[in-house]
A and B are shown apart, each in its own frame.
Chain A
């Protein structure tokens, strides 16, 4: 009797071929993208999405063509933060035309596909029971289509805003084998740094993805009365030396930044002279310098 290896193919479904075709679609699309950058943090709520939005705007203002993938499939915030929540996606055989911000940054987000403001992502299934067994496969599939099926055109930078957690980067690294690098976001608290170190290890040691650098967000607060820098967290919580080496910048806490995100107005455009804007522009320059030095 013949054995598994002696039978020619998989009875006609060509599953391997189908998986390869999916990967090829992404590769073909990324051929016209110069640099891909994932913005990540093991910790939630530290400002990954705010940083992605502002970094994308900064790179655009510095003369680059920039696209953004909101890779947070279940908690998409970038369409709101970048002021394009009302954009209607256009579907053509060549791909999906992304939303475009006031300054010309391109964005794809699950938020642009959901029917209602309060609608969560619910996938079609015979039953939602045991959805944990297949839900993450759907999410990776969605991300693959966001990267591969959006009509990005030629881009200098494609940024990906990851959901919190150490486990997300491996999915991205699999979809984008030659991922340009990651920007890691932390806040000064020890708890945040403790978790964020794990994501650095995951990126650098496990996945061998280059670390572009670390952004310390909500690093301090500038007193509106005296202009003094005040720590937002406990003053003895300093940035770990491991992070200091790779530091791209320390972004102050600025209520106007939070407000701009809520209103979907572009902070860097509105407040170019704010201390946080200057740091964000400098971070964007360092990201460019990182790729120029390669």
Chain B
């Protein structure tokens, strides 16, 4: 991928990339002569394809870590295979000691989703529905939760009850 500033006839340079929001990343390019910036939006499929190929926008200057793609991308992996640096809470690349971990920043800077806002704006779960959610195998729970929430949103439910879960159930392979 190359970009040309048509005013200056100069090749644009990569400037920055955001972390994915709704699965989509934005890369900024700048003309070194007139400093015009353009933004390139990758749709979720394009973002996912780059992630699957373990390629980083803007280049990769970090030393490769052993099995970094599998360990950072396997959702159903063992926790010891996903060392602290991978835990979602530290997705900004800060280690517990506050230092910058090269490993995490290498993989997460480009592809870790922006953390959820503190005040979730989605539908509210009833206690009964939450209990049912707990019965779903741990490894598919996050996916199921997201799916039910988006089903509730799409169908205008502010509250997720057992009934809403029943209604959502037809949409998922997982039993709950």
Whether A121 touches B45, Cβ cut-off 8 Å, given contacts A116-B139, A145-B69, is no
Interface hits, B1-25 → A, CB 8 Å: 1-4, 6, 9, 11-14, 20, 22-24
What A residues does B2 contact at CB under 8 A?
4, 7, 9-11
Q: How far is the CB of B69 from chain A (nearest CB, A)?
A: 5
Return A26 CB to nearest CB of chain B, in Å.
11
Whether the Cβ atoms of A116 and B68 lie closer than 8 Å is no
Cβ-based interface call for A93 (8 A): yes
Question: Are A1 and B4 in touch, CB under 8 angstroms?
Answer: yes
Count how many pairs of residues, one from A and one from B, have CB atoms less than 8 Å apart in the complex. 155
B51: chain A residues within 8 A (beta carbon):
124-125, 134
Interface residues on B, range: 35 or more
In the bound complex, do residue B81 and residue A91 qualify as a contact, i.e. CB atoms below 8 Å apart?
Answer: yes
B58 near A: Cβ within 8 Å? Answer: yes
Partner of B4, one of A7, A88, A116: A7
Q: Are B52 and A141 in contact, CB atoms less than 8 angstroms apart?
A: yes
* Neighbour of B139 across the interface among A91, A122, A125, CB < 8 A: A122
The answer to the question of B56 belonging to the interface, with a C-beta cut-off of 8 Å to chain A, is: yes
Nearest A residue to B76, CB-CB: A119
Shortest Cβ distance from B81 into chain A, in angstroms?
Answer: 5
Contact of A11 (CB < 8 Å), options: B12, B48, B54, B72: B12
Number of interface residues of A (CB under 8 A): 53
Q: Is A235 an interface residue (CB 8 A)?
A: no
Chain A neighbourhood of B127, CB < 8 A: none
- Pairwise interchain contact A12-B59, C-beta atoms closer than 8 A: yes
In Å, the complex CA distance between A134 and B49 comes to 6
- Chain B residue nearest to A151 in the complex (CB): B66
Q: How far is the CB of A109 from chain B (nearest CB, A)?
A: 12
* B49 A137 Cβ-Cβ under 8 A: yes
Q: Is A120 an interface residue (CB 8 A)?
A: yes
Chain A residues within 8 Å of B75, by CB: 122-124
In the complex the two chains form, what is the Cα distance from A22 to B13 in whole Å? 24
Q: How near does chain A come to B141, taking the closest CB pair, in angstroms? A: 11
Judged by a CB distance under 8 angstroms, whether B39 is at the interface is: no
A103 at the binding interface (Cβ < 8 Å): no
Identify the closest chain B residue to A97 (Cβ). Answer: B66
- B60-74 interface code vs A (CB 8 A; 1 in, 0 out): 100011111111111
Taking a contact as CB atoms under 8 Å apart, the answer to whether B45 and A130 are in contact is yes
Q: CB-CB contacts of B35-57 with A at 8 A, as 1s and 0s?
A: 00000000011011101111111
Whether A128 pairs with B64 at a CB distance below 8 angstroms is no
Kindly state the separation between the CA atoms of A149 and B1 in the bound complex, as whole angstroms.
Answer: 29
B140 contacts chain A at the CB level, 8 A cutoff = yes
Q: Enumerate chain A residues within 8 angstroms of B55, measured Cβ to Cβ.
A: 13, 15, 18-19
CB distance from B130 to the nearest CB of A (A): 21
B113 at the interface (CB under 8 A from A): yes
**B143 contacts chain A at the CB level, 8 A cutoff:** yes
Least Cβ–Cβ distance between B85 and chain A, in angstroms: 11
Minimum CB–CB distance for A132 against chain B, Å: 11
Q: How far is the CA of A14 from the CA of B1 in the complex (A)?
A: 10
Q: Chain B residues with Cβ under 8 A from A21's Cβ? A: 60, 64
CB distance from A270 to the nearest CB of B (A): 29
Q: Please, which residues of chain B bring their CB within 8 A of the CB of A293?
A: none
Q: List chain B positions with a Cβ less than 8 A from chain A.
A: 1-4, 6, 9, 11-14, 20, 22-24, 29, 44-45, 47-49, 51-60, 64-81, 83, 113, 137-140, 143
Report, nearest first, the 9 A-B pairs whose CB atoms are least far apart. A126-B23, A12-B14, A137-B52, A119-B76, A149-B66, A134-B52, A145-B67, A7-B11, A7-B2
